[in-house]
Amino acid sequence: MNLIEARRNRKWIGCIDFGTAMSKAAVVRRKPRTELISADVVPLAIGDRDGMAVRSGLLLPSVVYVSDQGTILFGKEAEDAAIRGERRNRQAFVSPKEYLSTRDPGALDEGLEREIDPTGDFTARKLLALFLAHLLVQAGRAAAIANVPWPVPLRIARPAWDEERAAAGEQALRSLVLQAFAIADRLGGQLSAIGGITHDAARSALAAVMSDRRFLDPAALPDVFELSASGSASVLEATAVAAGAIGDTRRRVVVVADIGGGTSDFGAFMTGLPGRGVLGEVDGSSGILRLAGDRLDVLLKFYIFKQARIDPFDSGSKGVVAHIRANQRAFKEALFTTGQLTIELVDNFLTVRKEDFLASPDIQEFAKLLRSAFHDTLERAVACARENALQGRRTPVEALLTGGGRSLPMVTDFITDPPLPIRLDEALPEIPEGPLDQNFLDLRPQLAVAIGGAVMDLPHQTARVRIRDVADATAQKVHKIANAVTTVRDAVDAAPAVHDVARTANPPPAANESEPARVPSSGRWRRFRGR
Ligand SMILES: Nc1ncnc2c1ncn2[C@@H]1O[C@H](COP(=O)(O)OP(=O)(O)OP(=O)(O)O)[C@@H](O)[C@H]1O
Ligand SMILES: [Mg+2]
């Protein structure tokens, strides 16, 4: 039986988080969020390869490399090949999601630069479909090892694109996933093999699959996807984080900031009363900024050129320019992890210090824009908290930082120096009770989208929280709102009292009532302390 037509095990839901830099996938048992235990939440090790050392099997670098030796490589293998090819000015196909997020839709079908595809045969759409086919085969292997079913109905996480791009982007993603399953059916285990697939195998699979009109119809093969009431197969990235990482242990408003490679996604969510399993998305709070890790990589590259007085257009600089470009993401991660970076140039070394880079005007501007996007969502969150006081007590506002860029200083500043004069506590991802391995715990904030996107009950399925007076709020008014919530501290301290009041107001159902009693969620979720 082909994978694409196979019956899906509907007891589980899967989510593909096709990230700009790192792709992730997870499956979660189809159960109310509040009843999940850790065994119901399974991230898939789609980055693991037989016989290859990878930094973490739970992350698959979103990279494809069209080699000169007649093969196409994926993930870590593609990254390594690109570093070897840098001196010949060869490049990998990186950040493939950008073709859906920022480029003109027509760019998907145009030929790629010679440095990326020396054959001239592969378009962005074709490489995206091949990459997703690799991801699906890897997911199937990982599911078998983890002893969970595969295939399962899938959701696809996506950024909060504007309306026009959202419709086109959703359709493109769905078609690509269908095409990817069909390619996986043709190439099977070859897609996971070390050494990659041959150009010929890729060409013939693509020729058959890309001409099949069925895959262009979003309604075709609906069982492949976990569809919402409105027929959508996608889930917004910040919404997914909320679904999988905010336990309903007490009433609060949580601002999610998911700082990824291509986009920074924001959203605000309010929990219901403890034990009710209700999570509402604050109306109008979702926001997206196309500024995230990738932009920092580019800014660092130009910073290095400037410091080292390298003219990137000089033919004599070709080698060093290619070296810096091929390693720019790794350089940035090293700089932010260790505080400084030493790079070998032609016949000398350059040392970059984190403080100096952070003080440069471009980075200051980057930080300002990020802060302003966070401010807008926080403003909505504060207004929502104010409107939804429980028993006259203010509702606390917290921030949940996720994504690979969560520990960047301009992001952690959101909490230590909030852009509104309020007390803002950091929310840590909450996880269902049960044994968990350390690798999973370390990566939990980066896996938050994939895990939450596979949770059965997403926040948008509940009534949205309406804010009456923020839409046209002037800055002054918002300032007033913010001041009113300056005492969030009090609300945090008073939380147990709020719970007590809530419990009295909402007693658990009596044992002899016919409705099944809800398991109190406070016993099922624990605060994440893995970083
Ligand atoms: N220690 C670190 N310091 C700074 N940045 C880091 C660090 N570790 C990872 N990153 C960056 O985080 C980004 C990857 O994060 P993540 O996996 O959340 O992104 P993504 O999901 O691929 O992107 P998007 O959500 O935008 O599609 C990359 O830009 C990576 O360089
Ligand atoms: Mg992401």
| Closest of 82, 409, 430 to residue 249, by C-alpha | 430
**DSSP 8-state code for residue 437:** -
Ligand 1 lined by 47 (C-beta under 6 Å): no
Q: pLDDT band for 314, please (50, 70, 90 cuts).
A: very high
Percent of the chain with pLDDT over 90: 66
CB 518: neighbour CB atoms within 10 A?
Answer: 14
Q: What are phi and psi of 119, to 5 degrees?
A: -80, -25
Domain 234-291+368-527 is found in CATH 3.40.50.720: no
CA atoms within 13 A on the CB side of 248: 24
Residue 463 has pLDDT above 60, yes or no: no
Taking the C-alpha atoms of residue 494 and residue 484, their distance in angstroms, rounded to an integer, is 16
Ligand 1 lined by 69 (C-beta under 6 Å): no
The whole-number pLDDT of residue 375 equals 97
Ligand 1: residue of 18, 332, 338, 451 to mutate (most ligand atoms within 8 A of CB) is 332
**DSSP 8-state code for residue 471:** T
Ligand 1 lined by 404 (C-beta under 6 Å): yes
Taking the C-alpha atoms of residue 304 and residue 31, their distance in angstroms, rounded to an integer, is 50
Average pLDDT over residues 347-351: 91
Cα of 468 vs centre of ligand 2, distance in Å, is: 31
- H/E element holding 124? helix 124-146
Helix/strand/coil percent split, the chain, to 5: 45, 20, 40
Taking the C-alpha atoms of residue 33 and residue 509, their distance in angstroms, rounded to an integer, is 19
The whole-number pLDDT of residue 391 equals 80
Among 245-254, 292-301, 320-329, name the one with the lowest average pLDDT: 245-254
Burial code of 23-46, b = ≥16 C-beta within 10 A, e = fewer? bbbbbbbbbebbebeeebbbbbbb
Taking the C-alpha atoms of residue 12 and residue 355, their distance in angstroms, rounded to an integer, is 46
Ligand 1 atom 8 nearest Cα: 404
Atom of ligand 1 at shortest distance to CA of 336? 3
Average pLDDT over residues 388-413: 92
> pLDDT tens, 119-142?
999 999 999 999 999 999 999 999
Residue 374 has pLDDT above 80, yes or no: yes
The whole-number pLDDT of residue 467 equals 58
Ligand 1: residue of 102, 265, 336, 410 to mutate (most ligand atoms within 8 A of CB) is 336
Ligand 1: residue of 161, 333, 447 to mutate (most ligand atoms within 8 A of CB) is 333
Cα of 406 vs centre of ligand 1, distance in Å, is: 8
Partners of 12 in the beta sheet?
A: 29
Ligand 1 lined by 403 (C-beta under 6 Å): yes
Residue 489 has pLDDT above 50, yes or no: no
| 3-class DSSP assignment, residue 446 | coil
Pairing of strands 234-236, 154-158: parallel
Counting ligands in written order, the one closest to the CA of 402 is: 1
Taking the C-alpha atoms of residue 465 and residue 260, their distance in angstroms, rounded to an integer, is 26
Confirm whether pTM is higher than 0.85: yes
> pLDDT tens, 267-285?
999 987 766 667 889 988 9
| Closest of 508, 458, 511 to residue 229, by C-alpha | 458
Domain 293-361 is found in CATH 3.90.640: yes
Cα of 427 vs centre of ligand 1, distance in Å, is: 19
Q: pLDDT band for 459, please (50, 70, 90 cuts).
A: confident
Q: pLDDT band for 50, please (50, 70, 90 cuts).
A: confident
The whole-number pLDDT of residue 177 equals 96
Cα of 259 vs centre of ligand 2, distance in Å, is: 7
The amino acid that residue 158 corresponds to is R
Residue 247 has pLDDT above 90, yes or no: no
Cα of 194 vs centre of ligand 2, distance in Å, is: 26
Average pLDDT over residues 485-513: 29
Counting ligands in written order, the one closest to the CA of 334 is: 1
Using alpha carbons only, give the angle 231, 234, 235 rounded to the nearest 5 degrees. Answer: 115
The distance in angstroms from the start CA to the end CA of the chain is 43
Taking the C-alpha atoms of residue 465 and residue 462, their distance in angstroms, rounded to an integer, is 9
Strand residues in 117-246 grouped as ranges (E): 154-158, 197-198, 234-236
Percent of the chain with pLDDT over 70: 85
Instruction: Let me know how long the chain is.
Output: 531
The whole-number pLDDT of residue 472 equals 40
Q: What are phi and psi of 123, to 5 degrees?
A: -90, 175
Pairing of strands 22-29, 430-432: unpaired
**DSSP 8-state code for residue 264:** E
The whole-number pLDDT of residue 78 equals 97
Cα of 94 vs centre of ligand 2, distance in Å, is: 15
Residue 513 has pLDDT above 90, yes or no: no
Ligand 1 atom 15 nearest Cα: 404
CB 279: neighbour CB atoms within 10 A?
Answer: 26
Ligand 1 lined by 100 (C-beta under 6 Å): no
Q: pLDDT band for 529, please (50, 70, 90 cuts).
A: low
> pLDDT tens, 148-167?
999 999 999 999 888 888 88
The whole-number pLDDT of residue 437 equals 82
| 3-class DSSP assignment, residue 353 | strand
Ligand 1 atom 11 nearest Cα: 404
The whole-number pLDDT of residue 180 equals 97
Partners of 13 in the beta sheet?
A: 28
> pLDDT tens, 161-208?
888 888 889 999 999 999 999 999 999 999 999 999 999 999 999 999
Domain boundaries, the chain: 44-224, 234-291+368-527, 293-361
- H/E element holding 298? helix 293-307
Ligand 1: residue of 100, 446, 449, 451 to mutate (most ligand atoms within 8 A of CB) is 446
Ligand 1 lined by 19 (C-beta under 6 Å): yes
Cα of 159 vs centre of ligand 1, distance in Å, is: 14
Q: pLDDT band for 248, please (50, 70, 90 cuts).
A: confident
> pLDDT tens, 72-85?
999 999 999 999 99
Taking the C-alpha atoms of residue 82 and residue 152, their distance in angstroms, rounded to an integer, is 33
Taking the C-alpha atoms of residue 3 and residue 9, their distance in angstroms, rounded to an integer, is 12
Using alpha carbons only, give the angle 237, 56, 416 rounded to the nearest 5 degrees. Answer: 55
Atom of ligand 1 at shortest distance to CA of 449? 21
Query: To the nearest whole number, what is the mean pLDDT of the chain?
Result: 86
Among 25-29, 84-88, 260-264, 353-357, name the one with the lowest average pLDDT: 84-88
Q: Which residues surround ligand 2, an ion (CB under 5 A)?
A: 19, 260
Q: Is 342 left (phi over 0), alpha (psi -120 to 50) or beta?
A: beta
Average pLDDT over residues 427-447: 84
Atom of ligand 1 at shortest distance to CA of 237? 25
Atom of ligand 1 at shortest distance to CA of 264? 26
The whole-number pLDDT of residue 528 equals 66
| Closest of 243, 238, 343, 239 to residue 292, by C-alpha | 238
